[in-house]
Amino acid sequence: MNYQVLARKWRPHNFTEVVGQEHVVKSLINALQHNRLHHAYLFTGTRGVGKTTIARILAKAVNCENLQEFNPCGVCSVCRDLDEGRFLDLIEVDAASRTKVEDTRDLLDNAQYAPSHGRYKVYIIDEVHMLSGHSFNALLKTLEEPPPHVKFLLATTDPHKIPVTVLSRCLQFNLKRLLPAQICSQMEFILQQEAIEFEPAALKLLSRAADGSMRDGLSLLDQAIVYGNGKVSADDVRAMLGTVAQQPVNDILSALARGDVVDILDKINEIANLTPDFGEILHQILQILHRVALVQQVPGAVDRDFDVDMIAALSGQLTPEDVQLFYQIGLVGRRDLDLAPDPRSGFEMVMLRMLTFKPVTLAQGSIKSIKIQPSVSKPSVKIPPQIVTAAAQSNEAPVNDWLSMIVAMKLTGLTREFASNCVLESIDDKVCTLIVDPGHIRGARAEETLQKALQVYRGASLKLVINAKKITQDTPAVQLTKEREDRQQAAVEFINSDHNIQALKDRFDARVLPGTIEPV
């Protein structure tokens, strides 16, 4: 007996066996249950997700003599004939090979005649988008006025090429790409039924390589069984797919987190001897970076398909900003890998680019004394001590220094604006008294927020008292304005006294544009 490939042998024969398309299966079963069958269905989706399979199951269900919970029974004469490909009332064609209008007309000529055996005459047209314009016109005529005994089941990978006049007359279902976990689970079930030894890690590799297609996944599984001489092991699958083990990828990412370029290049040299697919390696790196980013934002987002300990370690070694940068560089690098002189050099450049553009962060206390020799002396600018405190964003403010207290309390918005226009008159653990100009607009919410911030800052349930009277000293807002003006004036004087600027003015008649000088 000839060998039958797994994709055909384990093709679903009823709705219960369909994997990953519950939204379509539920709709079709409900239509059968309430006898609300449409005359034309269009199944769309990428290759190998079950478009033609579901169409065949539906053709079987509408003609089955003994539906079991609105599922084809599989034992009646209609089900057996359909499974064996000899049901006369099922006309299945591939539109890619019959694109001419004459072919379509010949196909539809018999639509007017009643079915010979079943309740409905069913037309399954695969890759329907390949029909010519005239063929669509011929089909459209029948879709507009279909005989009551005819059902059209259309399947396509590219619905955008189908005329809208045809789309509007079909009930459309978009089939999803299957998840790796769904493909892996089906592979495991099939291998158990076939009594074939396997390693779970090998099935995970195959299910990812299937890229959302169950048919592609089962074809790869067939290949892996032959390659492994009746067994499916992770090492054999890696060798068959041309991928490398997970550990070198983990090592590259760990070296990337440490910024160790020598170790990265050494690892690349090691895996280069295995003639790997560097695009696939970069794909694995992107998958891990994606998982690291998720764990950093949601610590519980653990995926058992990955090395949990390694993901946790990288989450601590890399900042979220670095992860996002590396992911973006890797994404662009994978797209441009074919443009590189060779895949290895392209991959190495992607890794080097990640290191080159990684922001350098210096830990506090690790900066040694560095001497900077200025080209010219800068004018001395006297800055009030309280402004220095504000610029440093200190959390510890001197006693009764209102500006420093505003900074330490981290006030924002209207509350900060209101506080900056007040002057501190007195403060203790019971009462804080502020003075505000009588003409300044006050807000109850800002005063309430300020009182709560003061209570947290002082660690006591003090009361806030605000007196409206003329202010005779500078408020923090005035102090900051004066400081900005002083810095601006110092910057202008520095530019005007710089000998390089003077030389440019003298030799090239250069001039400094007004308003372009800003203090650093």
End-to-end CA distance of the chain: 84
Give residue-wise pLDDT tens across range 474-484. 899 888 889 88
Element (H or E) spanning 345, and its range?
helix 343-357
Give residue-wise pLDDT tens across range 120-159. 889 998 888 888 888 888 888 888 888 889 899 999 988 8
Q: Which two tokens stand for residue 148?
A: 């009551």
CA pair distance 242, 231, nearest whole angstrom: 18
Report pLDDT for 394: 40
Element (H or E) spanning 92, and its range?
strand 90-94
The CATH number given to 261-357 is 1.20.272.10
CA pair distance 150, 139, nearest whole angstrom: 13
Q: How many CB atoms lie within 10 A of CB 171?
A: 14
Q: Which two tokens stand for residue 62?
A: 């509408």
CA pair distance 224, 235, nearest whole angstrom: 11
**Residue 54 pLDDT exceeds 90:** yes
| Residue whose C-alpha is closest to residue 259's, from 357, 366, 331 | 357
- State the pLDDT confidence band at 246, using cuts at 50, 70 and 90: low
Give mean pLDDT, residues 392-420: 75
For residues 384 and 507, the model is more confident at: 507
Question: How far is the CA of 494 from the CAs of 187, 375, 497, in angstroms?
Answer: 74, 12, 5
Residue with the two structure tokens 């609105």? 70
Give residue-wise pLDDT tens across range 11-40. 898 898 899 899 999 999 999 888 888 989
CB proximity list for 106: less than 8 A, separation 6 or greater: none
Q: How many CB atoms lie within 10 A of CB 356?
A: 10
Report pLDDT for 388: 40
Element (H or E) spanning 131, and its range?
none
- State the pLDDT confidence band at 367, using cuts at 50, 70 and 90: very low
CA pair distance 184, 244, nearest whole angstrom: 19
6-174 under CATH 3.40.630.10, yes or no: no
Asked whether the beta carbons of 50 and 215 are under 8 A apart, the reply is: no
Residue with the two structure tokens 């300990």? 309
CB proximity list for 428: less than 8 A, separation 6 or greater: 462
Can you give the residue ranges of every domain in the chain?
6-174, 180-241, 261-357, 385-478
Q: What is the DSSP string of 373-425?
A: --SSPPPP----HHHHHHHTT-S---TT-HHHHHHHTT--HHHHHHHHTEEEE
Report pLDDT for 92: 86
| Residue whose C-alpha is closest to residue 383's, from 250, 491, 464, 241 | 491
Q: Which two tokens stand for residue 517?
A: 């000088």
What class is the 180-241 domain?
A: mainly alpha
Q: Which two tokens stand for residue 307?
A: 């090395």
**Residue 374 pLDDT exceeds 50:** no
Asked whether the beta carbons of 175 and 49 are under 8 A apart, the reply is: yes
Angle between helices 343-357 and 261-272 (to 10 degrees): 160
Element (H or E) spanning 467, and its range?
strand 463-468
- State the pLDDT confidence band at 434, using cuts at 50, 70 and 90: very high
Report pLDDT for 242: 66
Give mean pLDDT, residues 101-127: 82
Mapping DSSP to helix (H, G, I), strand (E, B) and coil, where does residue 464 land?
Answer: strand
**Residue 518 pLDDT exceeds 60:** yes
Q: What is the residue-averaged pLDDT of the chain?
A: 83
- State the pLDDT confidence band at 57, using cuts at 50, 70 and 90: very high
Q: What DSSP character marks residue 151?
A: E
Report pLDDT for 284: 85
Asked whether the beta carbons of 156 and 52 are under 8 A apart, the reply is: no
Pick the CATH number of 385-478 from 3.20.20.140, 3.30.300.150, 2.160.10.10, 3.10.20.30: 3.30.300.150
On the question of a common fold for 261-357 and 385-478, the answer reads: no
Give residue-wise pLDDT tens across range 183-242. 999 999 999 999 999 998 889 888 888 888 899 999 999 999 998 888 999 888 888 876
Q: How many CB atoms lie within 10 A of CB 264?
A: 22
Give residue-wise pLDDT tens across range 300-357. 766 655 667 778 888 888 888 889 999 999 999 988 888 989 888 999 999 999 988 8
